[in-house]
Amino acid sequence: MRKIVMVLGIIFLSGCQMRVLDPKSDTAETLTDLIYLSFGLMMLVLIVVFILFFRFLSKFRETPETRGTIPANEKESKWLEITWTVLPFILLAILAVPTVKATYELTAKVSGNVEETQGDVMVVNVEAQQYNWKFVYENGKESFDELILPVDQEVQFRLTSNDVIHSFWVPNLSGKIDVLPGEETRLSFKPGETGVYQGKCAEFCGAKHTLMRFETKVVEQSAFDDWLKKE
Amino acid sequence: MKENTAYLFEDKRLGFFLYLVVEAIMFATLFATYIIYTPASRGADPSEVYELRTVVLTSIFLLSSSGTLLIAERGLKNWSRMKIWIGLGATFLLGGAFMVLEVHEFYKYWSEGYTLSMNNFLSSFYVLVGLHASHVAFGLAWMILLMFQFTKQLPRALFIEKHKIFNYYWHFVDVIWVLIICIVYAPYLF
Amino acid sequence: MNVPFIGEVPSDIVVSWIVTVLLGIFIMWWMTSRRKWPLVGEYVTTTDNRKIGTMYILLAMVFFIRGGMDAMFIRTQLAVPENEFWVFQSQKYNEVFTTHGTVMIFFVAMPLLIGLMNIAVPLQLGANDLAFPYLNSISFWLFVAGGVIFNMAFFFNAAPNAGWTSYAPLATDTYTTGPNNNYYIFGLQISGLGTIFTAINMIVTIVRLRAPGMKMTRMPLFSWATLITSILILIAFPVLTISLLLLTFDRLYGTSFFLGEYGNPVYWQHLFWIFGHPEVYILILPAFGIFSDIISTFSKKRVYGYTSMVIAICLIGLLGFMVWAHHMFTVGLGALANAIFAITTMLIAVPTGIKIFNWLFTMRRGVVRITTPMLFSLGFIPTFVIGGVTGVMLAVAAADYQYHDSYFVVAHFHYTMIGGTILGAFAGIYYWYPKMTGKMLDEKLGKWHFWLFIIGFHLTFMPQHFAGLNGMPRRVYTYTWEDGLFLLNFVSTIGAFLMGASMLFVAWNLYKTHRYTDKVGPDPWDGRTLEWTVDSPPSEHPFHPIPKVDSIDAYWYSKLDKKPLPSSEEIRPSPIPVKTIQPLVLAGILIFMSIGFIYQWVWMQVIGGSLALGFFILRSLTDEREKTYREEEES
């Protein structure tokens, strides 16, 4: 039965293009790679456990012949125990290295010092409140629940909340960053493809949390410039 | 061979020590809260609120009450009703004096405008020190009960048990007070 | 719905009132006609560990129905996109998922496990009761008081609505006005106190009341798990007590610990998760213990790697305190903190893996009997491993920026909580049911229950991983057609109803068992540990004389040698039981006082508070030990 579920899962996996696994920015790509890596490693574990489980179960299940027999006491094998202590360590080490690397990379981009934004970075200020998003661009243009971004342009968000905690999430473009009252958090990425992507509030924030969504449109630079100039 | 009541007492003592661990963690959390929020960015600063005189007086009363309780403990050991009475009575008076001063301290701060919600330094101060004060008040009520039990014909082993458990409590409350002096008052008084 | 004299009331509440009142009347009538009141009287005044444990489990089942119905409402509302099922949208939906989470964790999982500990641990150790029978009864009634307070909220249209994590500043009175979240605070506060007392009781019992020869290194693993769990409770729950106290001050007395220009909302998250993460290990470790005992019994073999099993429990308990910030990866704690907590979190996989392999190797070369408890344990292994590996995936801090607060997380913790705790509790209930009631649950119906439950479970939660990856945040009451989540959610809903249906088999099983079967002997499963040496159900003073133990699973080896366990001459006094109504009264007083605080009626607070304090005096003057001490003095 569980196998059928797994098969179903795989159908789901390939059937629809899931947003988190369909990255459209550099940041999201790093995350997707990590997800696949960890998934692969963990599948390895899962397969080993499942094989042992079903093998032991089918082989040592009580049969009419074995009914009433008492299995002999056995001594633990030191080597087996060492094996299943050390192997997970190795597996986790393989996972930990890219984890730490990616965490440092992304978090540096997320919460680096504002003043020293290097190079060609566009800054968007984000104000969240129950239950909408306000985006303020460098020239002072404001936009509600609609985020317009130029393609191939590094953008940095500086986010604050006017009331409770919210969380800024565009699954195709990047992971979440919480939006806190009285504190500024940061997030940055470079959209790599034009298109319309869903944005959501991912931290439960009250009655209409569900409806606190926004649309992210990634457009060509020229179209973006036109839009920015319009009142 | 050990007596049955000795076993039961040891069970109870271990249980009460574990309970004191729980209390210690509660206070530790409040100490952490105090440390995080003090001094506050706005509103009253601890150095302008605290008064050395009250802190010294309250400390003298409470710390010496742990000492007088030792008299009662000695009384328990060689069963001298006199010592128990003196020890308990003195401890009660000292604890009571502490309580009066503590209430006075809170009242004074409050009337000077340093209220609970002025800023988070004061909030965490009142919650932490207030929780300690309520422990002392509880201890005072406990002592009255203990003295009442002492006048009754309780089995001696049972009274000793009750008394000892109270002693652990009172010493614990004292230790917390020492920590309050070190963490809450000292950094802003000296 | 407009109710005369009261005003506008949501229709689900009206329906619940009607159903509850009718059900209440029916139960009263049934109890009276069957003359069950003396039995009720016996149970509410008891301090016997078996009876208290049974009451824990019974009440947990009642709350399970409540939490389960919440789950059904959630799944029905989410079955199709843009759905408007009954009243469950917006704030009402928030109330439902808040109560679902809180009830399932604090009022279902905890009491199920504590109930099983009550029943099995003293028997496994060769003790006649828990160390403090009176305190045990207090613990139970505090749990009842907390449960009543929390569940009352719904009937007064004031169910808590800030999530079971109650994040500030949403949970402060600025953003959630009304008494709703006060109910949360006081319900948890009071039941939490009960849990702390249980932990103290368990530790003292395990440390001091073991049968002669039962060294720590010979204890059954369920007892070991109980010991470590109790230590975790001892350290974690006081933190919850204080965080709730601070939140109380924020909500009732105008402080601003967690909001405003002075406060820090992230501090609440730290406090909550310093409690909350150990809490999930508090829920899983006893289940591990249950599985260890069951797998060993039904493989007819000693558990493989006993020593490493014990070390693994201790390590998991220890690491449980070092990982709380993995719930806060997206708060912006900085790269260093995130990296450290990612690594400590991954480390927990190692001792957990050791346990999994030890269970597998316990089965190897054994004779595996597939009984209902064993079936639940077997279902646990693959299910929990799936939950475990998604746990490691979540530990990858950067990747968690994507998973966080999405349905991926929802799927993960249901795989661990249901796959671990709930399957463990079911396994334990089927296994120790003879020790609770003296009867065996029906095996065939038990197996039906298992298969429907496990299939329903995987159908419900497997798709939720993918819903999360497709961008579905948790705690949303609807989604659109464009989101592409319909099929996943629909399958999930079908699975949930299958799980619900499986519980009907439990009800049927209970009825059938008590109606048609006879009592069984002391050892129906061919067990290995001391609880199987005493009658089913055991008397209130089961061990006399107390047996002497000289190895792990001593009872098993004595059966193989066909010699009874030797009894010991070494006698220590048993805990002193007492028949008392006091704990029940205390529960009433605390409910009264809490309502005073919840609605801020000062007179009620004062009366309730004084009564609660006066209770200490009453207790001190009616100490049941006095008689024993006097007897000894006179002899």
Could you give the CA distance from residue C344 to residue C365 in angstroms, rounded to a whole number? 35
Residues of B in contact with C261 (CB under 8 A): 42
Structure confidence at residue A172 (pLDDT)? 93
Residues of B in contact with C263 (CB under 8 A): 120
Structure confidence at residue A13 (pLDDT)? 53
Residues of A in contact with C375 (CB under 8 A): none
Best mutation target among B2, B3, B5, B8 (most C Cβ atoms within 10 Å) is B8
Residue A195 lies in a domain: yes
Residues of C in contact with B36 (CB under 8 A): 264, 267
Residue A150: pLDDT above 80?
yes
Query: Mind telling me how many Å the CA of B102 is from chain C's nearest CA?
Result: 21
Structure confidence at residue A7 (pLDDT)? 57
Residues of B in contact with C262 (CB under 8 A): 37, 40-43, 119-120
Structure confidence at residue C129 (pLDDT)? 93
Using 50 as the pLDDT threshold, list the residues of chain B that sit under it: 1
The number of C-beta contacts closer than 8 angstroms across A and C is: 268
Name the band, by pLDDT with cuts 50, 70 and 90, for residue A210. very high
pLDDT tens column, C510-535: 999 999 999 999 999 999 999 999 99
Structure confidence at residue A111 (pLDDT)? 54
How many Cβ atoms from other residues are within 10 Å of residue C80's Cβ?
Answer: 15
Best mutation target among B117, B152, B163 (most C Cβ atoms within 10 Å) is B117
Residues of C in contact with B14 (CB under 8 A): 203-204, 207-208
pTM across the whole model: 0.95
- Which residue from C minimizes the CA distance to B43? C262
Query: Mind telling me how many Å the CA of B99 is from chain C's nearest CA?
Result: 18
pLDDT tens column, C588-604: 999 999 999 999 999 99
How far apart, in Å, are the Cα atoms of A1 and each of A55, B105, C334, C495?
Answer: 16, 70, 43, 13
Could you give the CA distance from residue C510 to residue B40 in angstroms, rounded to a whole number? 60
- Retrieve residue C231's tokens: 């230590």
Best mutation target among A41, A87, A100, A214 (most C Cβ atoms within 10 Å) is A100
Structure confidence at residue A12 (pLDDT)? 53
Contact C573 B12 (CB under 8 A): no
Answer whether B touches A (≥3 Cβ pairs < 8 Å).
Answer: no
Q: Is the ipTM of this complex over 0.85?
A: yes
Residue C114: pLDDT above 80?
yes
Region C357-372 average pLDDT: 94
Query: Mind telling me how many Å the CA of B62 is from chain C's nearest CA?
Result: 23
- Which residue from C minimizes the CA distance to B38? C262
Beta bridge partners of C87: none
Residues of C in contact with A35 (CB under 8 A): 393, 396, 399, 402
Among the partner-chain residues C93, C300, C386, the one whose CB lies closest to the CB of A46 is C386
Among the partner-chain residues A34, A61, A73, the one whose CB lies closest to the CB of C396 is A34
Structure confidence at residue A16 (pLDDT)? 57
Among the partner-chain residues C203, C239, C243, the one whose CB lies closest to the CB of B18 is C203
How far apart, in Å, are the Cα atoms of C516 and each of C27, C373, C445, C519?
Answer: 22, 21, 14, 10
- Which residue from C minimizes the CA distance to B124? C257
Answer whether C touches A (≥3 Cβ pairs < 8 Å).
Answer: yes
- Contact, C308 vs C358, CB < 8 A? yes
Residues of B in contact with C132 (CB under 8 A): 11-12, 15
Contact C632 B42 (CB under 8 A): no
Residue C270: pLDDT above 90?
yes
Residue A63 lies in a domain: no
Region C401-406 average pLDDT: 94
Residue C384: pLDDT above 80?
yes
- Which residue from A minimizes the CA distance to C160? A206
Phi, psi for residue A160 in degrees, rounded to 5: -140, 160
Residue A4: pLDDT above 80?
no
Contact B127 C135 (CB under 8 A): no
- Retrieve residue C119's tokens: 């029943």
pLDDT tens column, A25-57: 999 999 999 999 999 999 999 999 999 999 999
Query: Mind telling me how many Å the CA of B85 is from chain C's nearest CA?
Result: 19
Residue with tokens 């509440």: C13
Residues of B in contact with C616 (CB under 8 A): 141-142, 145
Query: Mind telling me how many Å the CA of A195 is from chain C's nearest CA?
Result: 15
Structure confidence at residue A2 (pLDDT)? 57
Name the band, by pLDDT with cuts 50, 70 and 90, for residue C328. very high
Domains of chain C: 1-35 (no CATH), 36-634 (1.20.210.10)
Q: What is the DSSP letter of C551?
A: S
Residue A69 lies in a domain: no
Q: What is the helix (H) or strand (E) element at residue A156, kind and residue range? A: strand A155-161
Residue C77: pLDDT above 90?
yes
Residue C576: pLDDT above 80?
yes
Residue A78 lies in a domain: no
Name the band, by pLDDT with cuts 50, 70 and 90, for residue C220. very high
Region C577-595 average pLDDT: 95
Contact C200 B5 (CB under 8 A): no
Domain B51-189: which topology?
Four Helix Bundle (Hemerythrin (Met), subunit A) (1.20.120)
Whole-number average pLDDT of chain C:
94
Query: Mind telling me how many Å the CA of C623 is from chain B's nearest CA?
Result: 10
Residue A92 lies in a domain: no
Could you give the CA distance from residue B134 to residue C458 in angstroms, rounded to a whole number? 51
Query: Mind telling me how many Å the CA of C404 is from chain A's nearest CA?
Result: 7
Contact A5 C458 (CB under 8 A): yes
- Domain count along chain A: 1
Domain membership of residue A175 as a residue range: 122-229
Query: Mind telling me how many Å the CA of C295 is from chain A's nearest CA?
Result: 12
Touching chains, B (3+ CB pairs < 8 A): C
- Contact, C568 vs C544, CB < 8 A? no
Residue A107 lies in a domain: no
Structure confidence at residue C628 (pLDDT)? 86
Query: Mind telling me how many Å the CA of B58 is from chain C's nearest CA?
Result: 25
Buried b (16+ CB within 10 A) or exposed e, A65-87: ebeeeebeeeeeeeeebeebbeb
How far apart, in Å, are the Cα atoms of C75 and each of A11, C68, C419, C486, C494?
Answer: 22, 10, 19, 12, 9
Cβ burial of C523 (10 Å; 0-12, 13-18, 19+) is middle
First to last CA, chain B: 55
Contact C632 B4 (CB under 8 A): yes
Contact C458 A169 (CB under 8 A): no
pLDDT tens column, C441-486: 999 999 999 999 999 999 999 999 999 999 999 999 999 998 889 9
Residues of C in contact with B34 (CB under 8 A): none
Percent of chain A with pLDDT over 90: 69
Residues of B in contact with C199 (CB under 8 A): 18
pLDDT tens column, C57-72: 999 999 999 999 999 9
Structure confidence at residue C313 (pLDDT)? 96
Contact A57 C378 (CB under 8 A): yes
Region A2-16 average pLDDT: 56
- Which residue from B minimizes the CA distance to C576? B8
Residue A117: pLDDT above 70?
no
Structure confidence at residue A11 (pLDDT)? 55
Could you give the CA distance from residue C4 to residue C546 in angstroms, rounded to a whole number? 64
Query: Mind telling me how many Å the CA of A188 is from chain C's nearest CA?
Result: 13
Among the partner-chain residues C175, C399, C451, the one whose CB lies closest to the CB of A206 is C175
- Which residue from A minimizes the CA distance to C477? A210
Structure confidence at residue C6 (pLDDT)? 79
Residue A3: pLDDT above 70?
no
Residue A61: pLDDT above 60?
yes
* CATH number where A221 lies: 2.60.40.420
Contact A95 C170 (CB under 8 A): no
Phi, psi for residue A197 in degrees, rounded to 5: -125, 150
